[in-house]
Chain A
């Protein structure tokens, strides 16, 4: 493990840095399902008795910040390198979710174009006291090789 990455891990992993509230709108949930090709009315029809968001909907919930305010990151724009969803319970229209974000992992990959640093931000989503999902976003910064 590179020394600078180990320091970032020591300083920031598991540190909660953001908390936001989401009011869940049934029309938005249904439109996401339809645009993505869902056909089951439980994902596309807000009047269905078991209407719920497709599990991947939680990836659309964006917190106030992707990374801690004071965390040093490489120069340049971070790119969205991937998303992971862990589903635990249905996401229901009309409910409010609380999203709490922390850095879940920091790691690197090195290729011909230099080192890439990946930050995994995990948003834990709660409906009242119930933990309903985790939504991870991987952000990658590509370092330029030194001349």
Chain B
């Protein structure tokens, strides 16, 4: 039976150039966005109420950018539990919609053996495969 456990890396030499990070489905449900709004912030109507968001000109409630950035960071930590993310840049190209499935991806685009770091291209796409958020991250791993 094939092993369905997502691949993880612990040291820099485990990382393969061009490898795709194991993904997970980010929880963009209204309940989760409301929970985030209650405890962290960004709890106003455009994030937590589809009707209010429509009144503000959006197709529905939108996921706060800080959550989108957090999903991408969590993906890196799940793949490389010993990694330290030293930089992460996210460009909000279009809204990530609440209650609609999205996919997060990461691809290793560079490995710096001397610095002990990897560069990762990151993105969030919707069901139509439209890129909503993209960027890059740098993570440091033990050698």
Binding site for B on A (CB under 8 A): 27-28, 31-33, 35-40, 43, 54-57, 59-60, 62, 80-88, 138
- Whether A56 touches B92, Cβ cut-off 8 Å, given contacts A86-B87, A87-B85, is no
- Whether A85 touches B87, Cβ cut-off 8 Å, given contacts A36-B67, A38-B74, A54-B73, is yes
A58 nearest CB neighbor, chain B only: B66
- Whether A31 touches B90, Cβ cut-off 8 Å, given contacts A40-B77, A54-B73, A60-B66, is no
List chain B residues, Cβ under 8 A from A32: 36, 39-40, 66, 70
Task: Kindly identify, within residues 24 to 64 of chain B, every residue whose CB is under 8 Å from any CB belonging to chain A.
Answer: 24, 26-27, 32-33, 35-36, 39-42
Task: Kindly identify, within residues 70 to 122 of chain B, every residue whose CB is under 8 Å from any CB belonging to chain A.
Answer: 70-75, 77-78, 81, 84-92
Chain B contact residue count (CB 8 A cutoff):
34
List chain B residues, Cβ under 8 A from A31: 35-36, 39-40
- Whether A82 touches B27, Cβ cut-off 8 Å, given contacts A35-B70, A56-B66, A60-B41, is no
List chain A residues, Cβ under 8 A from B72: 56
CA distance A1 to B92 in the complex (A): 24
CA distance A54 to B81 in the complex (A): 12
CA distance A138 to B26 in the complex (A): 24
